[in-house]
A and B are shown apart, each in its own frame.
Chain A
Amino acid sequence: MQRLGDFRLPPFFNYPPYFTLQPVRETREKQVQLWKDLILEYCRSQKIHTISLEEDFPLFSNPKIERSLSHEAKEVFLAALVSEGRAEWMDKGHKRCLILWLRIQDWANLIINFVKDNGLEVMTIEEIRSGIDTRGTELEGIERSVLMRALRQLEQKGKAAIFKGTSADDEGVKFSV
């Protein structure tokens, strides 16, 4: 099985036609499904939060079979993720895409469980993103905007309160679990 780094690639990745947008509806649907799943799994395993269509993304080409996705194909697959709520366009020109390999809701749950399990009450935003406590967990390196949205959801449910610290960089959150 081929690997990209330590990520195991699925068999369809080595089949040339999957790199060409298929014209027949049923075949296209199958193709889109496979690519959607692959993008989510890959981003999750590599903790990639955004994909830029103007930069090379290792998943979008396979040098072993000398095939790459066209710009149109990339847009189609990402748009499919967007319409499912698993991604969001970050700009009107559809050049950057935020990948929600976990939905905001899922992130919120993850955070609350993490906080409970570790008996934490107050943390700064930076601590959540890059502190010792979160090292090795899925929270490590979480995209700031995603984290804030998840925290705001928790705030709405009364499970957290975001507060500003002494400096602009010092935002924190108090959890009430």
Chain B
Amino acid sequence: MRRRPGIAGLQTAAATRDQFRLVGENVAKVRTDVMKEQLATFRSQLEEFARKHKSDIRKNPIFRQQFHEMCAKVGVDPLASNKGVWAELLGIGDFYYELGVQIVDICIATRSHNGGLIDLLDLRKLLAQKRKATVESLSEDDCLRAISKLKVLGSGFEVISVGRRKLVRSVPTELNKDHSGILGLAQAEGYVTVEQVEKEFSWSTGRAVDALETLLKEGLAMIDDGHRDGKRRYWFPCVTINSDTIGGEAK
């Protein structure tokens, strides 16, 4: 459109813009309407599915996970609100809410022992005990979802990967790479010595001791001077806690 100078020109430009805007809004409206309809259809189909398979979803953790993934693909979050269709249909909201509360309880109860870091598998075992259920009925995915809900509450809960394990952190302590490295190393026997750390990462004694002392101060490590070889060992409760014997086989 050619611009014509002068007031008339300006008025034309404004009118043209208005027209474009109207057309644009219309197009948008049509698109939205179509989408709304599609979503409505899909939602009712999803609800129908959920109704049919309610009992499977509740009982079977693998099925549950697949259901979640299906919902996620279309942007539906069955846990978004405790009220509403999903919560009523499935009672899933309650399931995760309850799980979240139990996870918080366990983390708080074990914090003075492990400093606020707990291996996800140990958490699951303790949860199973608490709920008088089997470990298998409570999948890793279930726990991760419950924890991600906790995260939203800003409660400082986080899942971190260290070595080949997943740890649940319930305190604001930040672990840097040196610390994570040591935790990973400790997964072998539940403890490390300064020597082992130096050797494994090619660090100076100073660097190794610094990292270990920080972990000690944070309550994540405990010292052990009782071995007959006289070498101080740093044990990590978050790495070896077992619901029955704590470090039973380790020496």
Residues of A within 8 A of B (CB): 1-2, 11-12, 14-20, 22-24, 26-27, 30, 65-68
Chain A residues within an 8 Å CB radius of B217: 24
Q: Quick check: is B132 within 8 A (CB to CB) of the other chain?
A: no
- Residue among B219, B246, B251 with most chain A CB within 10 A: B246
**Does A66 contact B235, Cβ atoms closer than 8 Å?**
no
**Does A27 contact B219, Cβ atoms closer than 8 Å?**
yes
**Does B224 contact A16, Cβ atoms closer than 8 Å?**
yes
Q: Which 6 A-B pairs have the closest CB atoms?
A: A17-B222, A15-B246, A67-B226, A17-B224, A11-B246, A30-B112
Interface size class of chain B, counting residues whose CB lies under 8 Å from the partner chain: 20 to 34
Q: Which of A11, A14, A24 contacts B216 (CB 8 A)?
A: A24
The smallest beta-carbon distance between A99 and chain B, in angstroms, is 24
**Does A27 contact B224, Cβ atoms closer than 8 Å?**
no
* Those of B52-107 within 8 Å (CB) of chain A: none
- Residue among A16, A24, A30, A67 with most chain B CB within 10 A: A16
Residues of B within 8 A of A (CB): 112-113, 191, 216-217, 219, 222-228, 233, 235, 237, 240, 242, 244-248, 250-251
CA separation between A121 and B121, bound complex, in Å?
A: 60
Chain A residues within an 8 Å CB radius of B191: 16
CA separation between A22 and B224, bound complex, in Å?
A: 8
CA separation between A26 and B113, bound complex, in Å?
A: 10
Which residue of A is nearest B218, CB measured? A24
CA separation between A66 and B228, bound complex, in Å?
A: 8
CA separation between A17 and B222, bound complex, in Å?
A: 6
The smallest beta-carbon distance between A64 and chain B, in angstroms, is 8
**Does A11 contact B223, Cβ atoms closer than 8 Å?**
no
CA separation between A12 and B68, bound complex, in Å?
A: 39
